[in-house]
């Protein structure tokens, strides 16, 4: 198998005769017998068998796509004409030929499958009278080809039909100017005559290999062979008669034929490799397509196939148009974005700009609120700390705090040791940066010491938790709850201590912020 067989699969060659169908796919061959009705059409059973057998035969290479099948058909019912038409384009020739066929053939063109071969060499157009083209037209009843075409198409093949007699002639090596090819089949024979390489006549001879074998078995085979040989007109045979078919089994007849021919006519059998699915027509087709690299010079086409070819051409243009459209679309996509996205982008930009207009207000609000937050002194923390620091028996006579960090306390305590402890506790709380006992005066009775303390409270650093105090969180206390709240150390006892219980401040003031100007 060639590497790219799946891209360009090898062709299949088929010969459809009167009684058999032979197929060759590479080296695989198939031979099926055909059953026909009285009118020559294949029977329904035969068609079903053919389809199923061919499918099985082709399934071995199911990975292939649709494969082209070159089919050689027999000469029965085939008409051969030489027609002349004015030199013109291929489409014009098709149109003209339809008219010619209508005149020359017994059936209208719509009922024929026909093909033609140009017999005139291509010449440049000359001025003046139009050039005449000679064409060889071959036609057969449409139904014959349509039936075969339907069977082969249903097997996934693309059939192309030609005459088996044309295909056999390609096996003739170095043919003379005029020659004939006689294919001896089992029940009938085909004789085709060529002049200057162009088929001039095609005949069906009503005898075949089985008749010859019967004649050979008779008492006087020579005279019987003469009767058969006389059906071949020696004058029209040309210079050489090529013999194909079962020539080995009828060798006595072929020898007799060679002897009876005039000296001007040579008789030469064509050796064909024997095997299933192999015949002179199939091998001739294969030689044409594979060795010579050309398609059969004349193919028979149904009218619908001609329309399909034209439609195929149109669909090619359609695909080209689609491809061009896609190309334009891919180019246009580059420019489509501005048209699609620009309105949305402009709208969003306008919204963003409107928001930006509000930014100064947001900045001012933030500055104002931050100023407000950072300028709230932590009065409740300070009061709580002082209450905690006061020892039993102490009395705070006045407490004054301002937001410029000044604090002033006037109190009376039992002795100077309590004063020292009070000051130490205030400093240890971390809320005070300086605590100064401005005045410490013992009372005349010596029972008390009156002190005046001044100091500075300290603002905590941003993000730093407030100084540790003994107070508990009782935020959002109601008045009733507040009245029940147990006081901190400030009045733990001492009679005469007039400082009332100090409720703890709400948690919101627990973290005094840093002042910000």
CA 17 to chain centre: 44
Site string for other proteins, 376-405 (x = CB under 8 A): xx-xx--x-----------xxxxxxxxx--
Q: Give yes or no for residue 503 binding other proteins (CB under 8 A).
A: yes
How far does the chain reach from its first CA to its final CA, in angstroms?
Answer: 92
Residue 356 found at the interface with other proteins (CB under 8 A): yes
Burial level of 61, CB count in 10 A (0-12/13-18/19+)? middle
**Cα–Cα distance, 450 to 411 (Å, whole number):** 6
Is residue 27 close enough to count as binding other proteins by CB under 8 A? no
Q: How far is the CB of 50 from other proteins (least distance, A)?
A: 45
Binding test (CB under 8 A) with other proteins, winner from 5, 150, 276, 370: 370
Q: Of 270 and 380, which CB lies nearer to other proteins in the complex structure? A: 380
Q: Mark residue 293 as left, alpha or beta (left: phi above 0; alpha: psi -120 to 50; beta: remaining).
A: left
Q: Which is nearer to other proteins, 6 or 368 (CB)?
A: 368
Residue of the chain from 132, 187, 362, 443 that contacts other proteins (CB under 8 A): 362
Within 471-500, which residues bind other proteins (CB under 8 A)? 475, 477, 479, 482-483, 485, 498-500
What is the rounded radius of gyration, in angstroms, for the C-alpha atoms of the chain? 59
Q: How far apart are CA 380 and CA 370, in angstroms?
A: 20
Q: Which is nearer to other proteins, 74 or 503 (CB)?
A: 503
Number of residues this chain uses to bind other proteins (CB under 8 A):
61
Q: Could you tell me how far CA 319 lies from the centroid of its own chain? A: 16
Residue 342 as a binder of other proteins (CB under 8 A): the answer is yes
Q: Is 131 in the site for other proteins (CB under 8 A)?
A: no
The single-letter DSSP state of residue 36 is B
- 340 vs 354: CA distance, rounded Å: 23
Alpha helices in 198-302 (DSSP H): 209-217, 221-230, 234-237, 251-260, 280-286
Contact segment (CB under 8 A) with other proteins among 36-44, 194-202, 417-425, 504-512 equals 504-512
Residue 404 Cβ, how far from other proteins at the closest point, in Å? Answer: 8
| From candidates 65, 86, 108, 338, binder to other proteins by CB under 8 A | 338
Could you say which residues in the range 162-181 bind other proteins, by CB under 8 A?
none
Q: Is 364 in the site for other proteins (CB under 8 A)?
A: yes
The reply to whether 509 sits near other proteins by the rule CB under 8 A is yes
Shortest distance (Å) from residue 482 CB to other proteins: 4
**Tokens 């207009």 sit on residue:** 357
448 closest CA partner among 425, 422, 419, 408: 419
**CA separation for the pair 406, 344 (Å, rounded):** 60
Phi first, then psi, for residue 211 (nearest 5°) are: -65, -40
Q: Is 338 helix (H, G, I), strand (E, B) or coil?
A: helix
Cβ 435 to other proteins shortest distance, Å: 18
Report how far Cα 183 is from the mean position of its chain's Cα atoms: 52
- Helix (H), strand (E), coil (C) string for 455-476: EEECCCCCCCCCCCCCCCCCCC
Residue 382 CB, nearest approach to other proteins (Å)? 9
Q: Which is nearer to other proteins, 372 or 436 (CB)?
A: 372
With CA atoms as reference, report the closest residue to 151 among 68, 47, 62, 73.
47
DSSP state, residue 121: P
Pick the stretch among 238-246, 247-255, 345-353, 447-455 that binds other proteins (CB under 8 A): 345-353
User: Can you tell me which of 210, 373, 489, 492 binds other proteins, judged by CB under 8 A?
Assistant: 373
Site string for other proteins, 275-294 (x = CB under 8 A): --------------------
Residue 512 engages other proteins in binding (rule: CB under 8 A): no
Q: Which two tokens stand for residue 473?
A: 């969180």
Distance of CA 471 to the CA centre of its chain: 75
Contact call for residue 310 and other proteins (CB under 8 A): no
Name the residues that contact other proteins, by CB under 8 A: 334-335, 337-339, 341-342, 345-346, 348-349, 352-353, 355-356, 359-373, 375-377, 379-380, 383, 395-403, 475, 477, 479, 482-483, 485, 498-503, 505-506, 508-509
């Amino acid at each position: 198998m060639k590497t790219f067989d799946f891209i360009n699969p090898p062709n299949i060659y088929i010969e459809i005769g009167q009684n058999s169908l032979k197929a060759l796919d590479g080296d695989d061959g198939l031979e099926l017998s055909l059953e026909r009705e009285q009118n020559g059409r294949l029977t329904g059973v035969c068609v079903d068998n053919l389809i199923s057998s061919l499918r099985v035969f082709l399934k071995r290479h199911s990975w292939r796509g649709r494969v082209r099948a070159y089919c050689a058909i027999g000469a029965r019912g085939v008409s051969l004409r030489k027609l002349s038409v004015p030199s013109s384009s291929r489409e014009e020739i098709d149109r003209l030929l339809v008219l010619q066929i209508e005149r020359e053939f017994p059936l209208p063109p719509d009922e024929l499958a026909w093909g033609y071969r140009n017999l005139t060499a291509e010449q440049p157009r000359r001025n003046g009278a139009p050039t005449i083209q000679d064409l060889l037209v071959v036609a057969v009843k449409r139904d014959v080809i349509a039936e075969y075409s339907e069977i082969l198409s249903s097997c996934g093949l693309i059939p192309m039909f030609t005459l088996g007699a044309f295909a056999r002639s390609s096996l003739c090596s170095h043919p003379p100017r005029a020659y004939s090819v006689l294919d001896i089949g089992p029940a009938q024979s085909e004789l085709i005559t060529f002049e200057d390489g162009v088929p001039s006549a095609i005949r069906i001879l009503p005898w075949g290999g089985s008749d010859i074998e019967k004649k050979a078995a008779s008492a006087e085979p020579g005279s019987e062979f003469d009767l058969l040989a006389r059906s071949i007109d020696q004058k029209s045979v040309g210079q050489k008669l090529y013999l194909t078919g079962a020539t080995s089994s009828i060798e006595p007849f072929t020898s007799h034929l060679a002897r009876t021919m005039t000296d001007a006519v040579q008789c030469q059998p064509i050796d064909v490799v024997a095997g299933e699915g192999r015949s002179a027509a199939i091998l001739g087709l294969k030689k044409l397509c594979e060795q010579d690299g050309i398609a059969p010079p004349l193919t028979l086409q149904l009218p619908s196939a001609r329309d399909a070819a034209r439609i195929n051409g149109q669909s090619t243009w359609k695909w080209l148009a689609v491809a061009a459209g896609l190309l334009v679309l891919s180019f246009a996509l580059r420019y489509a974005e501005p048209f699609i996205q620009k309105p949305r982008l402009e709208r969003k930009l306008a919204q963003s700009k409107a928001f930006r207009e509000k930014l100064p207000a947001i900045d001012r609000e933030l500055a104002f609120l931050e100023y407000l937050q950072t300028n709230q002194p932590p009065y409740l923390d300070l009061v709580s700390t002082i209450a905690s620091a006061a020892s039993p028996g102490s009395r705070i006579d006045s407490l004054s705090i301002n937001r410029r960090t000044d604090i002033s306390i006037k109190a009376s305590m039992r002795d100077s040791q309590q004063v020292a402890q009070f000051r130490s506790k205030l400093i240890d709380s971390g809320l005070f940066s300086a605590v100064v006992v401005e005045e410490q005066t013992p009372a005349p009775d010596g029972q008390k010491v009156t002190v005046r303390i001044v100091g500075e409270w300290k603002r905590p650093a941003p993000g730093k938790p407030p100084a540790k105090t003994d107070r508990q969180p009782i935020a959002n206390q109601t008045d009733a709850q507040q009245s029940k709240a147990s006081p901190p150390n400030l009045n733990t006892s001492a009679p005469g201590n007039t400082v009332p219980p100090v409720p703890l401040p709400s948690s919101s003031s627990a973290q005094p912020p840093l002042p910000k100007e």
